[in-house]
Structure formats: structure tokens, C-alpha cells
Amino acid sequence: MNEINYLNTSDSCVAPVSISIHKSSKFIKDIDIIKTNCSNILSPLLNQIFNEDCIDGMKRIPDGTIDAIITDPPYGIAKKNPLKGSSHGKVQTISSEWDIFGSINEFQKFTSIWLKECHRVLKSNGSIAIWGDRRNIFFIQPLIEKLFPKFLDLFTWIKRDAPPNITRRGLAASTEFCLIYSKSETGWTFNHDDIKKYNNGKQMRNYIDIQRTMPANERTEHPTQKKIETQLLLVEMLSNKDNIVLDPFVGSGTTAVASKQLDRNYICFEKNKKYFEIALDRLRK
């Protein structure tokens, strides 16, 4: 699975287009051939996690073939040196190299590159959901709005058991945010009734209030792992059964696990070998 030998075959499959034409038998036959070609091209990618950079990996996905993109990309909040709390001593914050950027401009340049690939592979009425924190979400949003015209929501995860602010010089960060946009002004998927179960049978609000702590059988070594409930909700909200969900930064595999549980197909990428192996192990269980 780690050996990547696929050709970029996006020219063999075209994105869905809106046209007005007399539907002759030949036209219908041609459309059927296009659909078959798309299916054949995607078959080697479906329901797999690839241990590679998503920017390279997404180049193998044909234009306009993904139904929903749900991802938790690097936030750019990692620090090489530990923060020092006034009563807790030195505490090592997130220090993973994959989350360290030299500047905001560097972070935004990186984000722009993978967002453009996401826009290319997403169907014309597909949606994208991107996680961020209370600061970096504002660096991401202008980049999203250049590509995806329809703002759907800003979804919030409230974490009442989040750790304290060890510096005691600000509020304790107890939320994460998810920007949700559509590629089209109309026709996006939103399964209103299906997601009521995440709010005790009532209309779902634009937040989920669940603790950060995970049970032992869910928790992995990934430092920024999302709870399964957050990804189950987003997958069920923005896609239908047998649709294709893409996660360019799958980390410990939560989006893939959620997609599998909900009978969606998935295509995922994870550059870090350790987390890639963790994700595969979770899918085998």
C-alpha cells in the first residue's frame, strides 16, 4: 500500500457539468461510458488510506468525483519549546514537526495548495468541512471563500474537560471550530433528519457539547485526535450512503472509521508513518 505507482488519469474522467441537450440514445450511452470510466479510475483508491503527502496523492483523483471532504489539517500551533506555567512547572505543548510553520504566510501558502486540490476533486454540489482552532480558523476562512462560494456554517465542539491555561494569562481554550462550505450555491447535501440523533432527537444545533476525554478503546497516540462522534456527525450530515468522503489529513483514521460505520466510501491520506499504521489498525478492528 505504501508504494505509489498510479498515473494521474484525471484526463480520462470529466467532472459533472450542467448542460441542456436533447438526450438521444447516443448521448445517454456516452454519459454511461463516462460514469463507468470514473468508477474504474477510482476503484484502486476507494476505502484505502495512503501513506503519502495528500498534495501528491490527490493528483490521482479525477476532477469532480468526491462527494464530501472532511478533514482536520495542521493548525500551526505546535511549539518547539515548552510553555512555562506559574504553578505547573514546565509543560510540553504540542511539538510535532508537521504542525510547525515559520510564519502565518507560510501556513496560508501551504493551506492554499491543498485547498485548490480539494476544490478540483470535489463535485459541483459537494461540501467541505475543515477543523481549526480559535485563531487559525481566521487564517483559513479567507482562503476557503476564494474557492467555495457558499458558507453553510461554523460548527463548534465544546470541550468542558479541556486542560487549563497553564500560563494563567488568558482563557482556557475549550472549543474547536469547523468551517463548512459548499462548492455550489444550491443543491448541497444536508441530512437534516438523520443527524437529529446527535441532539436527542431534536434539530441539530451548530455545536456539539461532548467531553474531550476518550475511552481506552478509542484513544490513540495522536496528539490532536478527534472524537468519533464529531466525525460521525459531519459524515452523516454532508454525505449519503455509498458516497465518497475524502480526508487529506486523516491522522489516526477517525474520518475513515466514521465513513466505514456509516456505509460511505473513503479516500484518505496520512503522511506520518506512525499515524498511518494507527489508522490502519483501527480499521481492522
- Cα 240 from Cα 238, distance rounded (Å): 7
Instruction: For residue 247, list its beta bridge partners.
Output: 268
Query: Which triple of cell numbers denotes residue 31?
Result: 454519459
**Tens of pLDDT, residues 161-214:** 988 888 888 999 899 999 999 999 999 999 999 999 999 999 999 999 999 888
Q: Is 253 left (phi over 0), alpha (psi -120 to 50) or beta?
A: left
Eight-state DSSP code of residue 62: P
Residue 81, Cβ density class (10 Å: 0-12 exposed, 13-18 middle, ≥19 buried): exposed
Q: Which fold has domain 10-284?
A: Rossmann fold (3.40.50)
The phi and psi torsions of 119 (rounded to 5 degrees) equal -60, -40
State the DSSP H helix or E strand holding residue 123, giving kind and residue range, or none if neither.
Answer: strand 122-132
**Tens of pLDDT, residues 104-156:** 899 999 999 999 999 999 999 999 999 999 889 999 999 999 999 999 999 99
pTM of structure: 0.81
* pLDDT for the residue 276: 96
**CB-CB contact of 132 with 111 (8 Å):** no
- Cα 73 from Cα 206, distance rounded (Å): 20
Residues in contact with 187: Cβ distance below 8 Å, sequence separation at least 6, in sequence order: 124, 125
Cell numbers 448521448 correspond to 27
